[in-house]
Amino acid sequence: MKLKCVIFDFDGTLFDSMYLWDTVAESYVRSRGKEPKPTVREEVRALSLLQAAEHLKKEYDLAETPEEIMAGIDRIIEHFYRDEVQPKPGVVPFLKELRAKGVDVCIATATDRYLIESALRRCGIEALFDAIFTCSEVGHGKDEPVIFRRAMEHFGAQRGSTVVFEDAIHAIETAKKDGFTVAAVFDESEKRQDEVRALADCYITSFEQLEQFWAMTAAD
């Protein structure tokens, strides 16, 4: 394929950040002087932020209102992106190689723009991306292909010249069903690795080992 555009997910794909979302409830509970139960991750995993705040207030008898709990969780998340999160090994050299080849590079993420930009700025790699697209700005989650289409169309690319990098099975399924070529990136937060590997056009365990990707994009 003649590669023109690469669309990257952020959390779990470019950056090693998925553990934050698994541990943020625990971190908040500990910040209030309480010890979280071993089951807290599973209890809040499928909840909205408001639902999670209400659950934590009731479960741990917290003095804060749900709104105050939500604000506290937001502060933990902001600190993480602003001060801690790091790219996965090999990501920066790969981005530079894509840029050197004239490929358009962007991010398509469910995370808020200001968090992504703060992490990129701290790591000094803002300039390696041509654009950022967020689900909140596009108005659709990754259960629909709108964000991938919007990114592709922004660069005047076609599906046959675009590759989507994702780690999560639901986003991979969405992109594949819409006709995109998908490079799946291993992240331990995604437990359905057999399905990921079977569905994707190529499967990457590390950005330091990209032979399969380059072979795929070099093919006619």
**pLDDT greater than 80 at residue 67:** yes
Q: What is the pLDDT of residue 49?
A: 85
Asked if residues 90 and 203 have their Cβ atoms less than 8 Å apart, the reply is no
Instruction: Specify the range with the lowest mean pLDDT, choosing from 1-15, 16-30, 36-50, 160-174.
Output: 36-50
Domain spanning 5-16+87-218: which superfamily? Answer: HAD superfamily/HAD-like (3.40.50.1000)
Distance of CA 160 to the CA centre of its chain: 23
- Distance, in Å, from the CA atom of 88 to the CA atom of 74, rounded to the nearest integer, reads 23
Looking at residue 115, its amino acid is: L
Nearest to 12, CA basis, from 22, 3, 4: 22
As beta bridge partners, residue 106 has 7, 131
**pLDDT greater than 60 at residue 220:** no
Predicted TM-score of the model (pTM): 0.90
Locate the domains of the chain by residue range: 5-16+87-218, 19-83
pLDDT digits (tens, 9 = 90+) for 80-89: 999 999 999 9
- Distance, in Å, from the CA atom of 171 to the CA atom of 142, rounded to the nearest integer, reads 5
- Distance, in Å, from the CA atom of 58 to the CA atom of 74, rounded to the nearest integer, reads 19
Q: What is the pLDDT of residue 219?
A: 67
**pLDDT greater than 90 at residue 53:** yes
**pLDDT greater than 60 at residue 171:** yes
Sequence-distant (6+) residues with CB within 8 A of 166 are 9, 13, 172, 175, 182, 183, 184, 185
Instruction: Identify which of 19-23, 46-50, 147-151, 189-193 has the greatest average pLDDT.
Output: 147-151
**Please, what is the average pLDDT of the chain?**
94
- The tokens describing 121, both together, are 């700025």
